[in-house]
Structure 1
Amino acid sequence: MRSTLPTFNEVWQQQFRLDVLKQSSLLAENSTFLIGCSGGMDSMLLLHLMSQLFPGKIRAIHINHQLQSVSDDWALFVRQQCRQLNVPCMVQSVHVAGGNLENQAREARYQAYRQHLNPDEILVLAHHQQDQAETVMLRLLTGSGVRGLSAMQAVDARDWLMIWRPLLDISREQIAQWTQQLRLDYVDDPTNMDTHYDRAWCRQELWPVLQHRYPGMQQALARSSYLMQDADEILNDVLKQDLAACGHAGQLQLEKLSQLSTARQRQLLSAWMQGEHRYRPPFDMVQRLQHEVIHSRVDAQAALHWNGFYYVRFQQVLYRLDKAVYEAERSMQQVPDQQVKFLLDQSIRLDSGLFQIERMRMGLSVALLGEKLNLKHRAGGEKIHLYGRTGSRPLKKIIQDAHIFPWMRHTIQILSMDNVMLGVFTPEGFWLAQSRYCEAGGWQPDLIDG
């Protein structure tokens, strides 16, 4: 009986060649290709097809994870096959850390790809339809949203690379038949049968059960991934509009955020927390941001730490702060009092910013230029009589009224002479204090870079 699967020659003439060339038209006209080649059946078929479709424009890379006793033999095999096809080949050995070996091996591979990929070169991978369906299923089981369920794209543009997956709509059964018809050699990775790994468990245990009940399951799941890609594109358009309305990468206006629907609030917060990282935060982390920070008491100094950033609320604004910025106060050692000298036009870098000494209509006495002045961090309880204001007020209250962020207040320093407060260096500038050292035509430090 004739096989229902088309032969390689038929597909080559009728569909596959056209599909591949159509996809390649989405890429740069003069693109070259780096093929990720494990030596397995899928990647060896891909290597063979690409060598015929794009002769002279491809090279291959084999990542040796060093996890199998035969890893070096696989690397040698890939080299030999590439030599027969006249395809340049490189082998990169990587170290896979402990923990989740599947994830660690994937990260190690992509780091190696990034290291060897030339500018404007496209990474070509052999993911196929079953890989796509398995990805959708595994992500569904881990509670992924629209972005996760969109799974892999045939042409995937990222910040640091372009990925092309020409076989993504091709079934594993077709790949197996074509490989047999072309009499291609390949290696078998025993971990593909080890159900200790999630993907192998999905393929060996879950897949047969589901396919027995739903024969078209694989195609249906792959189709769902494309529908999710459309939904993700639409969602991204909405998120861009919401972010522009509510703030930017560093902060969100909570009053404007509250005007969005609950679903749009949650999606915006999730995308905002993701930032430039590859993955969104877990759902419970977004909920924690809402409950512990956004909806905390007005006078609370709540902060949530995730993925190298702190999320804090100050008044009606939610801030996304680099960990080093937020923790600077705790990591800052107690600095003893300093003695400083100032000269006109001098620039000086202090904790609160870069200041330049300039003539002002009203300022400190010129007689103080070149003199030793005392500089110290505030200890608490200080009062200051600001020039032009009536009476002294607690420095703490003035700092609060100036809306200086709590995480920046450790940078504030007090300038004095003979125990007389001359002024205060702050992230908002220099505050001149009323004293006997004030005079018309004097000088002040001017903040030029905060």
Structure 2
Amino acid sequence: MRSTLPTFNEVWQRQFRTRVLKQMQCFPPESTLLIGCSGGMDSMLLLHVLSALYPQKIRAIYIDHQLQDSSAAWGAFVSAQCAARGIDCVIEKVDVQSGNLEQQAREARYQAYLKHRQAHEILVLAHHQQDQAETLILRLLSGAGVAGLSAMKILDVRGQLSIWRPLLDVSREQICQWATQLKVEHIEDPSNLDTHYDRAWCRRELWPLLQSRYAKMQQAFARTSYLMQDADDILQQVLAQDLSACGSDGVLDLQVFAQLSAARQRQLLSAWMKGQDSYRPHFEMVQRLFNEVIHAKIDAQAALHWNQYYYVRYQQQLFRLSAAEYLAEKNQSAATVVHLQLSLNQKINLLSGSYQVAPAQIGLSHCLLGKVLNVTQRQGGEKIHLYARVGAWPLKKALQEAQIFPWQRYTIQILSIDNVMLGVFTPKGFWLAQSDYCEVGGWQPNLSS
């Protein structure tokens, strides 16, 4: 009986070649192609097809994860196949970190792609329709939202990396037939049969069971992923509007945030926490941010740590701080007195930033230049009489009024001579204190960075 699947030549003429050419028009005319080749049937078929279509515009890359004894031999096979077609091939060894092996291998692979990607080069991957369906199933089982259920895109831009998957609409059955007709040589990775891995389990155990009941399951899952991509595009537009209204990548205004619906609040927090990383936080982590930080008592010094960042609330604002910034005070060595002898135009580096001594309309007396001045860290309880203000008031209150955040206050340093406060170095600049050393045409340290 003649197969109902179209032959490769028919598909090439009627569908595949036209679709590939149309998709290529989405890229700048100077674009070239970097094909990710594992040596398997899918990627070797892709190499065969694109080498015929764009012989002068492609090269290949094989990522050796070093997880199997045969991985180096597979790299040699890919290299030989490329050489036979006159295609340059890069072989890159990577070290896969411990943890979720599939996820860590994927991360190492994409880092290698970024390393070798050249200007105007598009990464081409051989994911097909069954890969798409498996991805959607696995993400559904992990509790993914709209973005996760969007699965893979035919054209996907991730920062500096543009990814093209020309086989994503092609079934696994068609790929097998085409590869057989064209006598495409390939290798078989035994890990694809190891059901210890989630994807192999899905393919060998779950897939046949579901397909026995739902014959068109593969196409249905693919359609669902496209619908989710549309939904995700709409959601991203709403998120961009909400983020613009509520703040920025580093801070959210909780008063504006509170006016959003509960659903939009959850989505905005999830996307905001993700930032530039690959994955959003789990639903439970977003809920913890609500419970432990946003809804904590007003006087609570609450902070949530997730994925190398700390999330802290201060005066109706929610901040996203790097670990280095949030833990800087704890990592600071014991306070010491710094002795300075200053001159005009001199640059000094202090905890709150870099300063340059410069003439000022109102400033410190020139008689202090060249003398030994003391710089000490704030201990708490100090009072300051700011220049042109009436009376002294607690330094802590001045810091609060200036909205200098608690995690920055370890950088506060006091400039003095003979127990006379001359001013205070802060992340927002130098504050001149009222003293007998203030004069017209004096000098001040100006914060430069």
Query: Could you state the TM-score of these two structures normalised by the residue count of structure 2?
Result: 0.96
SS in 1 for 2:184: coil
SS in 1 for 2:160: coil
Map residues 124-163 of structure 1 onto 2, 5 A cutoff.
124-163=124-163
Change (3 A) 1:131 1:384: same
Q: Distance in 2 between matches of 1:439 and 1:317?
A: 39
User: 1:365 and 1:85, CA in 2 relative to 1: closer, same or farther beyond 3 A?
Assistant: closer
Per the alignment, residue 443 of structure 1 pairs with 443
Give the letter aligned to residue 219 of structure 1. Answer: Q
CA distance in 1, matches of 2:368, 2:337: 18
C-alpha separation in 1, matches of 2:377 and 2:364: 20
d(CA) in 2 for partners of 1:72, 1:437: 74
Mapped partners of 1:443, 1:77: distance in 2: 72
Question: Equivalents in 2 of 1:362, 1:161: separation in Å?
Answer: 53
Deviation per CA, 1:391-431: give whole Å up to 9, x if none: 33222222223221111111111111111222222223322
Q: Call closer, same or farther: CA 1:308–1:371 in 2, change over 3 Å.
A: same
What do the CA deviations read for 1:19-66 (whole angstroms, capped 9, x no partner)? 111211212223211111111111111111111111121111122222
Assess, with a 3 A threshold, how the Cα gap between structure 1 residues 90 and 359 changes in structure 2: closer, same or farther: closer
Task: Tell me the SS of whatever aligns to 1:248.
Answer: coil
1:167-182 paired onto structure 2 within 5 Å = 167-182=167-182
Query: What SS does the corresponding residue of 1:133 show, helix, strand or coil?
Result: helix
Does 2:386 align with 1:377? no
- SS at the partner of 2:267? helix
Distance 2:327 2:336 in 1: 20
Equivalence for 1:411: 411
Q: Deviation of residue 361 (structure 1)?
A: 4.3
Give the Cα separation in 2 of the matches to 1:340 and 1:212: 81
- 2:78 pairs with 1:78: yes
Unaligned runs of 5+ in 1: none
Counterpart Cα distance in 1 of 2:290 and 2:11: 53
Q: What is the percent sequence identity of the aligned residues?
A: 64
- Alignment partner, residue 309 of structure 1: 309
Tell me the distance in 1 between the aligned counterparts of 2:435 and 2:69: 80
State the distance in 2 between where 1:206 and 1:308 align. 36
| 1:244–1:186 distance in 2 versus 1, CA, 3 Å | same
Q: Secondary structure at the match of 2:376?
A: strand
Partner secondary structure for residue 444 of structure 1: strand
Task: Provide the residue aligned with 2:22 in structure 1.
Answer: 22
How far did residue 169 of structure 1 move? Answer: 0.5
Q: Which residue does 1:277 correspond to in 2?
A: 277
Q: May I ask how many residue pairs the two structures share in their alignment?
A: 449
Q: Secondary structure at the match of 1:15?
A: helix
RMSD: 1.6
2:318 partner SS: strand
Paired with 2:260 and 2:333, the residues of 1 have a C-alpha distance of 43
AA aligned opposite 2:127: H
Letter in 2 for 1:4: T
* Structure 1 counterpart of 2:318: 318
Residue deviations 1:212-247 (CA, integer Å, cap 9, x gap): 111111110011001111111111111111111111
Change (3 A) 1:223 1:438: same
1:256 aligns with 2:256: yes
Q: 1:14 to 1:328 in 2, by over 3 A?
A: same
Distance 2:404 2:304 in 1: 20
User: Counterpart of 1:57?
Assistant: 57
CA deviation after TM superposition for structure 1 residue 355, in Å: 2.8
How many Å apart are 1:377 and its aligned residue? 0.5
Deviation at 1:360, TM superposition (A): 3.8
The structure 1 segments of at least 4 consecutive aligned residues displaced by more than 4 Å after TM superposition are none
Instruction: Give, as a single letter, the amino acid of the residue that structure 2 aligns with 1:55.
Output: P
Counterpart secondary structure, 1:123: strand
In the alignment, the residues of structure 2 paired with residue 335 and residue 308 of structure 1 have an alpha-carbon distance, to the nearest angstrom, of 27
Matched residue, 1:225: 225
1:444 counterpart letter in structure 2: Q
User: For 1:115-130, what aligned pairs fall within 5 Å after superposition?
Assistant: 115-130=115-130
* Aligned: 1:342 with 2:339: no
State the one-letter code of the partner of 1:181. Answer: Q
Q: Give the SS at the match of 2:12.
A: helix
TM-score normalised by length of structure 1: 0.96
3-state SS, counterpart of residue 343 of structure 1? coil
Q: Write the distance in 2 (CA, Å) between the matches of 1:369 and 1:98.
A: 58
User: What amino acid does structure 1 have at the position aligned with 2:206?
Assistant: L
Q: Which amino acid aligns with 2:245?
A: A
Q: Which amino acid aligns with 2:227?
A: L
